[in-house]
């Protein structure tokens, strides 16, 4: 299994990146796509890399300059080295307002020698509580790895080095709301969450190891930039393929995972998932509707 699993991880999901159809293609320096939003003095710039730190005074965060509706967003991140217990490094997309949509990667710090965990979550119309957690199959602190969110009208896919670790499909026909009509910004932050992040809050942040530093590079957005200057009724149409325009994320091959991608997802869940809200009967005595209709 190990050999085949390694082959799965090494496979490049070129379908996500090779289609030469319409879309906003951006692979740029940090300040062309993003801007710091708080604790400006907790950023360090080193060539193409950005270092963002957490200390006992503050965390830090940045966000995209624009909002997007459908496409793919990727960041390369090297997570906090050593004892990172109590810390969270987050990469997520979110719309605005109380009925917001949101797609979350949250990297949960640990004590030295333990596997690094990533928690994903998804909010639709302001409702979250869809946590899944898995242990990464590599040490994310020694080198950069690529974390991506792919989104179209049919599915939301979370990817690690192009391996899908979670998919949320459109099941509106089953009465399950799907996030398809709110533009989303792209965000990242580093902050202290020692009330819950490591072993349920039992292990606290050791500030003698501060500053805790996450490093970023490879800022890529291949998505539909959501216009602010046109009527609301016309905005969604701009990011959907029609007779005059074809967007790569609307290609039929991207309406669901391929057979190979499904095999990858099964492997991740079987060997690395440690929590799935769908099976948490203590929190959800009635199985959430989306969990009834598909595995995700």
135/272 Cα distance (integer angstroms): 5
136/190 Cα distance (integer angstroms): 19
Reference 155, options 71, 73, 99; nearest CA is: 71
106 is a catalytic site residue: yes
* pTM higher than 0.85: yes
Q: Which of 32, 106, 131, 162 is catalytic?
A: 106
270/219 Cα distance (integer angstroms): 31
- What's the pLDDT tens digit per position in 207-259? 889 999 999 999 999 999 987 666 666 666 788 888 778 899 999 999 999 99
Q: pLDDT value at position 15? A: 43
* C-alpha gyration radius of the chain: 19
Helix (H) or strand (E) run with residue 191 in it: strand 185-192
- What's the pLDDT tens digit per position in 173-205? 999 999 998 999 999 999 988 776 677 767 788
102 is a catalytic site residue: yes
Q: Which of 102, 162, 225, 290 is catalytic?
A: 102
Q: pLDDT value at position 150? A: 98
Q: pLDDT value at position 86? A: 87
Q: Which domains does the chain carry?
A: 30-227+240-293 (2.60.120.200)
In degrees, rounded to 5, the angle at the alpha carbon of residue 31 between the alpha carbons of residues 63 and 212 is: 60
Helices (H), 175-296: 232-238, 259-272, 289-293
């Amino acid at each position: 299994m190990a050999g085949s699993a390694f082959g799965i991880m090494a496979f490049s999901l070129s379908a996500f990146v090779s289609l030469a159809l319409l879309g906003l293609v951006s692979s740029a320096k940090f300040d062309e796509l993003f801007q710091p939003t708080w604790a400006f003095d907790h950023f360090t710039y080193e060539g193409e890399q950005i270092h963002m730190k957490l200390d006992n005074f503050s965390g830090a965060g940045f966000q995209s300059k624009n909002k997007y509706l459908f496409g793919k967003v990727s960041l390369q991140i090297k997570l906090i080295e050593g004892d990172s217990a109590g810390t969270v490094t987050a990469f997520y997309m979110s719309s605005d307002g109380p009925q917001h949509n949101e797609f979350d990667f949250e990297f949960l710090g640990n004590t030295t020698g333990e596997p690094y965990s990533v928690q994903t979550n998804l909010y639709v119309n302001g409702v979250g509580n869809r946590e899944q957690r898995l242990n990464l199959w590599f040490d994310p602190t020694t080198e950069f790895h690529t974390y991506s969110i792919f989104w179209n009208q049919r599915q939301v896919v979370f990817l690690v080095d192009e391996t899908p670790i979670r998919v949320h499909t459109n099941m509106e026909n089953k009465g399950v709301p799907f996030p398809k009509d709110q533009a989303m910004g792209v965000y990242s932050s580093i902050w202290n969450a020692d009330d819950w992040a490591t072993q349920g809050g039992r292990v606290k942040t050791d500030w003698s190891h501060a500053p805790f530093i996450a490093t970023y590079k490879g800022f890529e957005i291949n998505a539909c930039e959501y216009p602010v200057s046109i009527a609301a009724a016309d905005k969604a149409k701009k990011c959907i393929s029609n007779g005059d325009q074809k967007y790569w994320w609307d290609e039929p091959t991207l309406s669901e995972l391929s057979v190979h991608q499904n095999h990858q997802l099964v492997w991740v869940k079987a060997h690395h998932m440690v929590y799935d809200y769908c099976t948490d009967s203590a929190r959800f005595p009635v199985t959430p509707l989306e969990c009834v209709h598909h595995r995700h």
